[in-house]
Structure 1
Amino acid sequence: MGVIRDETGTQRLLGYVLDVGGDDRRARCSLDLDDRHLNRQDILHGGIAATLLDNAMGATASLSVDDTGRHPFTTLALTVNYLAPGRPGQVQAIGRITGGGSSTLFVEGELRHQDGTLIATATGVFRKSRPPEAR
């Protein structure tokens, strides 16, 4: 439980950290932005913003069945709304379960800059998957 680092190739490539240790059962995905994460306008690339939201939201879904936040959930749908540019500094995405049942969950997410600016919001549908060892 707690902080997950360097667990997947994507995580190692981008450098984000996943925190699944909060008492509120909401995962947080943080990234210190540098020039590798910026687009031609020197703001956070939208695809990376979506990746951070997807990770925070999927891990939040996982926390509904697994205290480690590692039980696999598959993203069935993800809609991202971009509200403000992501400037260099730290950004953090956080997920919140809004509904669903035993195998499919509806999750919302927010991505904020360290200064509090809301960069993007997302809604998603996530389905519980079998762990790799059970396949």
Structure 2
Amino acid sequence: MDDALELIGRAFGQAGLHAALGMELVSLDANGCKVRVSLDERHLNLARSVHGGVVASLVDTAIGLAFVPTLIPPAGMATPTTSLTVEFVAPIRAGAKELAATARVVRAGKHTGFGEAEVVCDGTLVAKALGTVAMVPFRSG
């Protein structure tokens, strides 16, 4: 298990979307996952607020990764999202500094898992999310 978590930690920032958005893996253990991003101009939409897709990508990543410690064996498994609902509860305006998603597993079955996440921006709750993932063998390419 520790090897799989270490591998994810090393590879995380190099993944295409994670790198493009500047995501950082803060923590990943049996209690859940925390992912953060330092906000800048690239995260803003035309209205000068943080694009909702940034928030959705952050929670999608955090919820999916929260299941890694539940996978047996963790290596060679993937958790693609099959459903994601994001409720935005406050706007994220230009000038905001940090966005962080904290996710936890609600229930992990043999083939399907249910997770939830909260997103905080500079100390203020801005979104809540529910996600469903499939637990499948990883296939590259």
TM-score, length-normalised on structure 1? 0.85
Q: Which residue of 2 aligns with 1:89?
A: 97
1:75 is matched with which residue: 69, 77, 81? 81
Work out the percentage of aligned pairs sharing the same amino acid: 29
Q: CA RMSD in A?
A: 2.4
1:126 is matched with which residue: 96, 114, 133? 133
Unaligned 5+ residue runs, structure 2?
none
Alignment length (residue pairs) = 132
2:66 aligned partner, one-letter code:
T
Q: What is the DSSP-based 3-state SS (H/G/I as helix, E as strand, rest coil) of the residue aligned with 1:86?
A: coil
Q: CA deviation at 1:36?
A: 0.3
Q: Which residue of 1 aligns with 2:57?
A: 51
CA 1:96–1:117 in 2, change beyond 3 Å: closer, same or farther?
same
Deviation per CA, 1:81-126: give whole Å up to 9, x if none.
0111124201100111112412211101111013x21111110110
2:124 aligned partner, one-letter code:
T
Unaligned 5+ residue runs, structure 1?
none
Distance 1:69 1:28 in 2: 20
Is 1:15–2:22 an aligned residue pair? yes
1:44 aligned partner, one-letter code:
V
Q: CA deviation at 1:7?
A: 2.9
Q: What is the DSSP-based 3-state SS (H/G/I as helix, E as strand, rest coil) of the residue aligned with 1:132?
A: coil
Q: What is the DSSP-based 3-state SS (H/G/I as helix, E as strand, rest coil) of the residue aligned with 1:27?
A: strand
8 Å CA contact 1:53, 1:109 repeated in 2: yes
CA 1:59–1:66 in 2, change beyond 3 Å: closer, same or farther?
farther
